Structure 1
């Protein structure tokens, strides 16, 4: 609060960490923090000190509540003060009582918000169709609530299967739905900082971006939710097709190419002559050289003309309906190196989807094996590997993969299995 002179300048977060880390770890200190802040806010004639005291009170009420014995006194104190922040502190304290205690001290975004006298934090969220929107996030917002808010605002039929992802440094990590949003981002930035120290010992700053995307495709049916198809499903499936991950015939590729062109250009035929130069944007990369550019052009235009009058929105759904028939629809694909199974190629394509873990030949795109989630008994991951046991823990077969994306495979497997168990439990309770 500036009442005690400090010898060196420190960042706001250094100070708030020092104040809030101990009470978050030791419950008995929480009352002490509230008592000290109230004491320093009582008859304080220094405007700067008082302003900072209210900033601390605002941050405290979003992190933890005092004990039952002290709660009434703190609320009485807050209600006796006539300012906007005290009213906001009462609301924050009630939300913290309802939603639970945070694990980490306030995030930099929260500290900066109250220092700039704003009690409303708006966070930008990016979507797969290259649009973005700002959403209000509170200290007590858990990832699940955040997902619901986004789904409601975008008028999606359900938020099931959707997740928030945080992109930081070179990683994109899914936010567990039960975590407080700011806790997770705080944990992530601290982890990256420790993993990548700077040479001069200074604290590196990491910017992050938040994405909202479809993660689990268990109940995804094209045409069932038009907004989800337009904003998410089409734009998330398109890159996988173009990278050549699916097994796709030349006819289907031309058909899909015509739909992709229609999404891009609608009924505008003036660009059709450019198709040979656009092939990488229309045809799977492994099939581009399977026909001459002029052959592709002829085929694509043929299908394009058949779809005359179709809107670009309808073309997106039609595109999804074709891919939906494939066993690899809605997959997350991983190129890995495996050494445990001599019958499989060393470089393997793994697709994780609603059917389980699929092992795919990277050249022919044939599915070599599908391991349903019910048969996977154990899995683990590290910085350079992903390990999985199929069947019995002792006599089952093992698959060890070299990959830097083990954390993503691990998380997907955990999430799909968790969703499967939840729906099984729901079915059981319905039968009862």
Structure 2
């Protein structure tokens, strides 16, 4: 883009008028409630949560998947039913990738169409909000997910899905999507990261347990955990200050 502007300026001597928008991703989801800020829901929250849902990171029921598939279709095409025959080819955009093979493409189409017809007249923005309100019920809503290889806990799978959200650090079985355990931020005493690892200590430094993970995204996990704990400590400090001032 910069090269094009430079070339255009050198040829015409006129600076072109450009219109663009910059969207930021939400980092901390401690106070996010769907419906509280409709514009943020429409512009940020829906499009940030949708890819994580489609990657299959959340545990959900078949009925929830059908409802969400119909809502995603409505966001894409609104009331246009001409794309119904294309649903089997669009499943990767409507259904979590690990669930697509559970039933046939035609069965997915029939079921999604049936749920779509139950909500006739719902607008694109209403569909986005309905999507967010449904997944808001899940304990993994607003999470940042990381696939890691853990080397310390023999009772857990070697490959883990780690979710960092307002509740703490959750360890998830990537096959069943069951939450194996959640470590609240108040129980995390230390953490570190490098180019190939992320380490976390639960409990005190002497008797605490450690989780050692192999990952190339340790720096992101470190930054996110630092931000959540910093926010928690700030909130606790404000609470103590308000109590002492009474």
Fold agreement, TM-score > 0.5: yes
C-alpha separation in 2, matches of 1:395 and 1:256:
44
DSSP-derived class of the 2:140 partner: coil
Please give the per-residue CA displacement for 1:218-252, whole angstroms capped at 9, x wherever unaligned.
00000000011011100000000000000011111
Deviation of 1:429 after TM superposition, in Å, equals: 2.1
C-alpha separation in 2, matches of 1:276 and 1:371:
40
Deviation of 1:289 after TM superposition, in Å, equals: 0.5
Counterpart position of 1:213? 25
Do residues 247 (structure 1) and 59 (structure 2) align?
yes
Counterpart position of 1:364? 176
Counterpart position of 1:305? 117
Counterpart position of 2:21? 133
- Which gives a bigger RCO, structure 1 or 2 (Cα 8 Å, sep 6+)? 2
Deviation of 1:266 after TM superposition, in Å, equals: 0.3
DSSP-derived class of the 2:239 partner: helix
DSSP-derived class of the 2:57 partner: coil
Do residues 332 (structure 1) and 155 (structure 2) align?
no
Structure 2 residues not aligned, in runs of 5+: 1-17
DSSP-derived class of the 2:125 partner: helix
Structure 1 segments, 4+ long, off by >4 Å, are: none
Counterpart position of 1:377? 189
Counterpart position of 1:260? 72
Do residues 286 (structure 1) and 98 (structure 2) align?
yes
DSSP-derived class of the 2:139 partner: coil
Deviation of 1:303 after TM superposition, in Å, equals: 0.9
C-alpha separation in 1, matches of 2:162 and 2:25:
20
Do residues 235 (structure 1) and 123 (structure 2) align?
no
DSSP-derived class of the 1:298 partner: helix
Matches within 5 A, 1:312-351: 312-351=124-163
When the two structures are aligned, how many residues end up with a matched partner? 227
C-alpha separation in 1, matches of 2:103 and 2:20:
38
Deviation of 1:133 after TM superposition, in Å, equals: 2.1
Counterpart position of 2:167? 355
Please give the per-residue CA displacement for 1:277-330, whole angstroms capped at 9, x wherever unaligned.
100000000110011111111111111011111000000000000000000000
C-alpha separation in 2, matches of 1:213 and 1:329:
15
Bigger Rg over Cα: 1
Do residues 407 (structure 1) and 219 (structure 2) align?
yes
C-alpha separation in 2, matches of 1:422 and 1:232:
25
DSSP-derived class of the 1:427 partner: helix
Deviation of 1:425 after TM superposition, in Å, equals: 1.6
Do residues 422 (structure 1) and 234 (structure 2) align?
yes
Tell me how large the CA RMSD over aligned residues is: 1.3
C-alpha separation in 2, matches of 1:298 and 1:421:
50
Deviation of 1:132 after TM superposition, in Å, equals: 4.5
Do residues 391 (structure 1) and 197 (structure 2) align?
no
C-alpha separation in 1, matches of 2:30 and 2:108:
34
C-alpha separation in 2, matches of 1:248 and 1:241:
10
C-alpha separation in 1, matches of 2:235 and 2:103:
46
C-alpha separation in 1, matches of 2:83 and 2:141:
29
C-alpha separation in 2, matches of 1:295 and 1:252:
15
C-alpha separation in 1, matches of 2:34 and 2:178:
24
